Amino acid sequence: MRVGDYLSGLVPRGILALLVPAGAWASSPVTPAPESPAILIRVPVAPSSDAPGQPVSSWLEAQIALARTGISCGPIDGVGGPQSVAALQAFQESRDLPATGVLDEMTKARLGLTAPAMTQVTLTKDDLARLQPLSPTWLGKSQQTALDYETALELVAERAHASQALIRQLNPAVDWAGGPPVGTILTVPAAGRMKPPAAAAHLHIYLAAHVLEARDADGGLIAHFPVSIARMAEKRPEGELHVTVVISHPNYTFDPDVFPESAEGRDLGRKLVIPPGPNNPVGVAWVGLDRPGYGIHGTPVPEQVGRTESHGCFRLANWDALALLDLAWVGLPVVVDP
């Protein structure tokens, strides 16, 4: 079933037309948090295959198909923006197609969907019980039980690897402002979580392109992720680094010395341990590098990945950071190219 057919009875025509168009820190800021609550993405895993399937018909379907192969365009939004074009070029190159970034007929066929592009999920009591406001201060954050999702919309969008705007468009009858109740059934992209064919032999971070890629020993592409980099050139390491630690759902240490611009930090004059969660400053994953304080990590704001520049480290969307955990290992070479 095509996305357009699936949505025709659910989404107003105007929305359907939109969706289906033709820091140099002084020390490591994180520590493992074995007692932290599990923060899982539970969208049903869709098959990842190069077997022929139904050709994709839109950028929305293409983004979903790309995600299933480990090639991320950032939040799925149905729009063929720069990150989606870069993801498509990576796919085309890896399949020996002309790397045009154009969603042509040959590429649509090669991206063929072998499972429905959309799925339905149901909000549970546990889902809604975990929602909590996010304190605006560092001290307040340090006193929370977790930096969990603030809203059901945020939770659903992140699980589906999608933009919040797309989730709203797919579910126009839901009262997101009031908060959907337990049992609400929602339509979301069925991106799933990629199962990598093997651990990476090396990672490449391309600073100018704002892209991180994992490759095998033969140079073949395993995964492609948009990444944010430091605003200041002197905070962008180049050359070969190595992974020193791989941590899921880490704590974060707020160090006032790292944020001299923070009036609160100056007043506090001490470090704070920030609990884990998807709204933790480093998201749900930390891959530490052998340059003190540098790492690859998640972010609370996936829509900004690749579009805004970070304080120092390399930021991925939380779901991409989790995928990287399956690929990374201590000692893994990380080549940072200009």
pLDDT, averaged per 10 consecutive residues of the chain (338 residues), comes to 36 33 45 45 41 88 96 97 98 97 97 95 97 96 97 98 98 96 98 80 95 95 93 72 96 89 89 96 96 91 82 89 95 95
DSSP state of 1: -
Residue with tokens 């983004």: 63
**CA–CA separation, 249 and 31 (whole Å):** 9
Q: Is residue 300 part of a domain?
A: yes
Q: Is residue 24 part of a domain?
A: no
Beta bridge partners of 223: 214
Provide the whole-model pTM. Answer: 0.85
Q: Is residue 1 part of a domain?
A: no
Q: Is residue 111 part of a domain?
A: no
**CA–CA separation, 29 and 138 (whole Å):** 14
| 129-179: pLDDT as tens digits | 999 999 999 999 999 999 999 999 999 999 999 999 999 999 999 999 999
Q: Is residue 268 part of a domain?
A: yes
Q: Is residue 29 part of a domain?
A: no
Q: Is residue 209 part of a domain?
A: yes
The domain spanning residue 275 has which CATH number? 2.40.440.10
Encoded tokens for 328: 């990374």
Helix, strand, coil shares, percent, the chain, to 5: 25, 20, 55
Q: Is residue 315 part of a domain?
A: yes
Helix (H) or strand (E) run with residue 196 in it: none
Tell me what pLDDT residue 220 has. Answer: 94
Number of domains present in the structure of the chain: 1
Backbone φ and ψ for 187, nearest 5 degrees, come out as: -95, 125
Task: Supply the range of the domain harboring residue 255.
Answer: 202-337
| 183-193: pLDDT as tens digits | 999 999 999 87
Q: By the 8 A CB rule, do 44 and 116 touch?
A: no
